[in-house]
C-alpha cells in the first residue's frame, strides 16, 4: 500500500470521527443540529465523498499497476523481485498459512468460488476466477485457488481439453435436459400442411460425489521460511483430487461415481482384422492413418468443425500414431504444439490430449476418442474446501489438512458429439 493511500485513509477516519462527534453531541442533548452544525456536517460529508473518490482512484491505479507488473513478469517468464513466489498475493498468502499453523487456530480454512459458473461458452481449459473468504482466517482469495485449479486441470485431460464446468452452491441432484435426436425440416408446398418433427429429449442428472484426502505438515516445515508451503498444499490437493476425478471423467461407470466421457461416447470406427494392438500398416488401404481420418469423418459436421473438438488418448497411443509413415518413409501426421492449449500436439489440425486413464491399444479396446469435449459437463459444488486439525496427529507434532471437493460429470449430448475407435478382436 502506498504512503499516499495510507494518508488518505487516515484522513477519512479522522473526518468520519468529526462527524460522529457532531452527531453524538446533538443526540446526547436531545436536539437537532444547529444551523452552524448543519453547515459543518455538510462540509464534512463533502470532504468524505472527496476522500473516498481519491481512495478509489488510487486503489484502481495500484490494482492496474500490479496487474501490469504480473503480466510483464509472466511474459518474461520470471518471478518478480527474485522471490520464489510469482506475485505479492502468493507471498502474503504463504505467510498467512504459516501464521495460521503456528497459532494453532482451529477455525476451518474454507476456500470457495463465487456464486457463478466457472465457464461461459467454450474456451480451452477452465476459466479461473477470484475467490471469496467465508471464514475469519483472512486468506488472500486469488492465487491459492488458481494453483489448485491449475494442478486439477493438469491432472485431468478432460478438464484441460475444455469440458464445460458448472458451479453450484449446493449439491442436490441437478437435472440437465439433453437431446438424443434432432428435429428435421423439409420443403413445404404452398398451402400444404407442415409436418411435425419434434426433437427427442432426455435428461441427465448430475450429482455431487465427494473426493477427499489428508495431508500432514510438520511444524518445522511451517517455520521454514524458504519452503513454499502454499505451493506444496496446492499441488497435493490438485494432483490427488485431479487424478481421482480424472480417472472417473474418462471411464466412470455412473454407478456410485461420475459417468465417463468414453463411457457415454458412441462407436465411430472399428479396426479391421490385424489391428488388435495397433492401427495396422500405413501402406494398406483402410489402415494406419486412414482409420483416424475415418474416425474424424464419423463425427457429425457441427461437432467436427467445433472449436472444442479434440483427440484424447494415452501417450503410448500417440507415440504409435507419430511413427506412422507412408511408402516413402515420410511421417504422416504433424505434431505441432498449440501454444497455451496444454495439448501434446495436433492430428488433422485438432489438438491431442493425453491421459493415462485412456485404454491402451489392445483387442476390442477403445483407445482413441475424438469429438466435441465441451459437451462433457462437469458439475462442481462450491470450490475446494480445506479444513485443519491440530489434534489428529498431536503426538507427532503434525498439522493435518484435509481437502474436499464435490464433483460429478456426464456427457450431455448423446447425438454423436464424441466417437471412439475400437480395435479389432484379432
For residue 234, give the CATH number of its domain: 3.30.2400
Question: Would 165 be classed as within a structural domain?
Answer: yes
Residue 1 lies in a domain: no
Q: Is residue 323 part of a domain?
A: yes
Whether 35 is covered by a domain: the verdict is: no
Grid coordinates belonging to 167: 458451479
Check whether residue 147 and residue 291 sit in a common domain: no
- Same domain for 367 and 270? yes
- More reliable by pLDDT, 49 or 424: 424
Inside any domain, residue 208: yes
405/313 same-domain check: no
For residue 69, what pLDDT band results from cuts at 50, 70 and 90? low
Query: Does residue 63 have a pLDDT over 80?
Result: no
233 and 367 assigned to the same domain: no
pTM above 0.75, yes or no: no
Higher pLDDT, 335 or 40: 40
Strand partners, 99: none
Compute CA distances 127 → 64, 158, 167, 413, whole Å.
20, 14, 12, 22
List the single range of 38-52, 81-95, 182-196, 210-224 with lowest mean pLDDT: 81-95
Q: Are residues 237 and 346 in the same domain?
A: no
Q: Which residues, other chains included, contact 337 with Cβ-Cβ below 8 Å and sequence gap of 6+?
A: 343, 344, 345, 346
Same domain? 211 vs 299? no
Clarify whether residues 148 and 245 are in a common domain: yes
What is the domain-level CATH number for residue 322?
3.30.2320.10
- The reply to whether 226 and 312 lie within a common domain is no
User: 406 pairs with which residues across the strands?
Assistant: 210, 381
CA 202 to chain centre: 27
Residue 62 lies in a domain: no
Residue 332 and residue 299 share a domain: yes
Asked if residue 28 is part of any domain, the answer here is: no
Domain that holds residue 226: 90-181+200-259+376-411
Residues 388 and 368 in one domain: no
Longest dimension (CA), the chain: 102
* pLDDT at 48 exceeding the cut of 90: no
Q: Do 365 and 382 belong to one domain?
A: no
In tens, the pLDDT along 97-137 reads 555 555 555 544 444 444 433 433 333 333 333 333 333 33
**In angstroms, what CA-CA distances link 247 with 80, 99, 135, 244, 264?**
37, 36, 32, 6, 14
| Overall number of domains in the chain | 2
- Tell me if 96 is assigned to some domain: yes
Amino acid at each position: 500500500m502506498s504512503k499516499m493511500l495510507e494518508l488518505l485513509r487516515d484522513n477519512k477516519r479522522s473526518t468520519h470521527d468529526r462527524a460522529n462527534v457532531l452527531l453524538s453531541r446533538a443526540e446526547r442533548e436531545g436536539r437537532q443540529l444547529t444551523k452552524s452544525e448543519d453547515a459543518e456536517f455538510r462540509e464534512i460529508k463533502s470532504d468524505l465523498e472527496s476522500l473516498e473518490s481519491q481512495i478509489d482512484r488510487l486503489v484502481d491505479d495500484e490494482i492496474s499497476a500490479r496487474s501490469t507488473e504480473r503480466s510483464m513478469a509472466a511474459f518474461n517468464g520470471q518471478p518478480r523481485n527474485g522471490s520464489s513466489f510469482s506475485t505479492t498475493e502468493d507471498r502474503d498468502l504463504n505467510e498467512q498459512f504459516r501464521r495460521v499453523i503456528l497459532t494453532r487456530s482451529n477455525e476451518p480454512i474454507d476456500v470457495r468460488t463465487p456464486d457463478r459458473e466457472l465457464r461461459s461458452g467454450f474456451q480451452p481449459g477452465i476459466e479461473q476466477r477470484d475467490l471469496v473468504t467465508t471464514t475469519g482466517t483472512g486468506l488472500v482469495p486469488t492465487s491459492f485457488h488458481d494453483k489448485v485449479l491449475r494442478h486439477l486441470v493438469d491432472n485431468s485431460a478432460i478438464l484441460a481439453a475444455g469440458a464445460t464446468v458448472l458451479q453450484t452452491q449446493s449439491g442436490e441432484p441437478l437435472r440437465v435436459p439433453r437431446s438424443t435426436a434432432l428435429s428435421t425440416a423439409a420443403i413445404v408446398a404452398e398451402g400444404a400442411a407442415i409436418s411435425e418433427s419434434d426433437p427427442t429429449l432426455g435428461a441427465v442428472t448430475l450429482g455431487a460425489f465427494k473426493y477427499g484426502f489428508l495431508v500432514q505438515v510438520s511444524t518445522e516445515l511451517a517455520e521454514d521460511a524458504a519452503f513454499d508451503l502454499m505451493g506444496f498444499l496446492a499441488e497435493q490437493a490438485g494432483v490427488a483430487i485431479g487424478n481421482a476425478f480424472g480417472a472417473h471423467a474418462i471411464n466412470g461407470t455412473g454407478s456410485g461415481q461420475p459417468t465417463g466421457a468414453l463411457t457415454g461416447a458412441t462407436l465411430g470406427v472399428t479396426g479391421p482384422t490385424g489391428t488388435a494392438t495397433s492401427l495396422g500398416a500405413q501402406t494398406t488401404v483402410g489402415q494406419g492413418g486412414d482409420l483416424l481420418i475415418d474416425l474424424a469423418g464419423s463425427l457429425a459436421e457441427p461437432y467436427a468443425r467445433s472449436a472444442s473438438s479434440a483427440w484424447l488418448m494415452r501417450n503410448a497411443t500417440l507415440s504409435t500414431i507419430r511413427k506412422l509413415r507412408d511408402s516413402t518413409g515420410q511421417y504422416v501426421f504433424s505434431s505441432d504444439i498449440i501454444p497455451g492449449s496444454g495439448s501434446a500436439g495436433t492430428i488433422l489440425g485438432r489438438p491431442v490430449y493425453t491421459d493415462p486413464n485412456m485404454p491402451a491399444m489392445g483387442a476390442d479396446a477403445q483407445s482413441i476418442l475424438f469429438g466435441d469435449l465441451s459437451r462433457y459437463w462437469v458439475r462442481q459444488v462450491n470450490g475446494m474446501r480445506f479444513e485443519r486439525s491440530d489434534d489428529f496427529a498431536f503426538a507427532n507434532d503434525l498439522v493435518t489438512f484435509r481437502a474436499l471437493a464435490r464433483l460429478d460429470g456426464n456427457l450431455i449430448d448423446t447425438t454423436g458429439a464424441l466417437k471412439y475407435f475400437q480395435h479389432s478382436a484379432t
